[in-house]
Chains A and B, each alone.
Chain A
Amino acid sequence: MAERTVIPFGPQHPVLPEPVHLDLVIEDERVIEAIPQIGFIHRGLEKLVQKLDYQSFVTVTERICGICAFGHSLGYSETIEVLMGVEVPPRAQVLRVIWHELSRVHSHLLWLGLLADGFGFENLFMQCWRLRERVLGIFEQTTGGRVILNACNVGGVNRDIANEDLRGIVLILDGMRDEYQVLLKTFLKDRSVANRLRGIGMLSKEKAREYGVAGPFARASGIAEDIRSFGYGGYGFLHAFEPILSDECDGYARCQVRAEEVVQSMDIVKELVEKIPDGALSAKVKGSPAAGSRAVSRLEQPRGECFYYAKGNGTKYLERFRIRTPSSDNLAGMVYTMQGCDLADVPMNILTIDPCVSCTER
């Protein structure tokens, strides 16, 4: 019997944009077990909710993670709105979704670039990031920030995008679309991409359910779960929403789901720009959350379903705020897919799951 060895992987590793540590138990070249260890970038942000009032805290939630920044401020605001029974004006709801979907485009392009870099396709990596830059440009034009948008607050949004600027955004996205089609074809039809990703990190539909994985990781295993299909907030304005699925269950399927979601998000923005109603941007939020009141809300982040919980105590400070992020759901699935894979496939395996460690550790 081959001898067992333990190889430490991470927390600093070229394929890991963020620190997570895995102890890989290997036999020959085959991984028998992966033991994860997290907590390298824990910042205790949830505890800060007791120090900052519920309206200012939105600035902290936005800084949980640099990729899902807008999503977290949106999720937090929606939770407080449920907690206090605030009705958000329709224009604000739609603007929120536009920014959120643009965030998804930039997050997925970032990930596609990292994946291409991971399997050594440098040209593809640079093209993805070049396109992503235009989305960041839109953010800068509309909110003044490329990463931290500071556009969402409890009750609505704090800045508007004029209707002609919205049409300008659609024109920019239409310009990106043609170039993106070339990249999409390369991801989905190029033999070198398929050779590297097919059969990597198989997770069957049953196992995906068992491990409770979320987002594109689940959808690539054929689980039709996408919170956007419930039509919450601005998504209610959409004519129809169908989650993008694949039942191939491997790394290639995850790549395909995310690559196609970029086009889907562009379509959503285009449709919403046509339908955006006029009106107020923010509802007045007065008072404090009642003592003992609790609220939950769910949001589809680029990496999957994110769950928010808040509890009030009658003052302007919250008693408790908690986020369950998609990456913490996905870690269990990731460790499972690692069992039995080749050591050389470990980086690809981690990348196709796209763990966001900042969100996970907050």
Chain B
Amino acid sequence: MGIQITGMALKNLLSRPATKLYPVEPQVYTSQTRGHVDNNIEACILCSICVRKCPATALAVDKEARTWTINPFSCVQCMTCVRVCPRDSLSMLPEYTPVASNMSTRTLVKPEEKPEEA
């Protein structure tokens, strides 16, 4: 058995490294990777259900200002908000957000609805 594990070790000398030299080698996202939450703000009705359900209190909605805000530093990528949104406006995208230089939140403003044409 000593021989076998030595053989395994020698084989490893000749094979590709088991680890990845990130970021030189880019991260491969799977279709399931939970990277960041995005909101299709046009579809959002600012109902605040996602805010109430978020276990990390990462979300905020301001109905007056028509904004939806996420604090990406609090978000734990649990997808609760994506599941509970009644308008399916939230989605979990696979890409990780780029390295940030300051801790900021991300705010999306819902555009004013155009007045119905008479």
Binding site for B on A (CB under 8 A): 52-53, 56-57, 59-60, 63, 123-124, 127, 130, 133, 140-145, 148, 150, 158-159, 179, 182-183, 185-186, 189-190
Contact = CB atoms under 8 A, between A and B. Distances in A.
A123 B9 contact: yes
Contacts of B76: 59, 63, 148
A59 B32 contact: no
29 contacts: A52-B55, A56-B80, A59-B76, A59-B78, A59-B80, A123-B5, A123-B8, A124-B5, A127-B5, A127-B8, A127-B9, A130-B12, A130-B18, A133-B18, A141-B30, A142-B32, A144-B34, A144-B92, A144-B94, A145-B34, A150-B77, A150-B78, A158-B83, A159-B32, A179-B8, A186-B1, A186-B4, A186-B5, A189-B1
Given A56-B53, A60-B55, A185 B4 contact: yes
Contacts of B33: 140, 144
A188 B76 CA distance: 41
Contacts of A60: 55
Contacts of B44: none
A183 B32 contact: no
B30 A140 contact: yes
Contacts, number: 62
A144 B32 contact: yes
A349 B97 CA distance: 43
Nearest to B33: A144
Interface in B85-117: 92, 94
B2 interface: yes
Nearest to A158: B83
Of the candidates B32, B33, B94, the one having the most CB atoms from chain A within 10 angstroms of its own CB is: B32
Given A56-B54, A143-B32, 11 more contacts: A123-B8, A124-B5, A130-B18, A144-B32, A144-B34, A144-B94, A145-B34, A148-B76, A150-B34, A158-B83, A189-B1
Contacts of B55: 52, 56-57, 59-60
B116 to A, nearest CB: 37
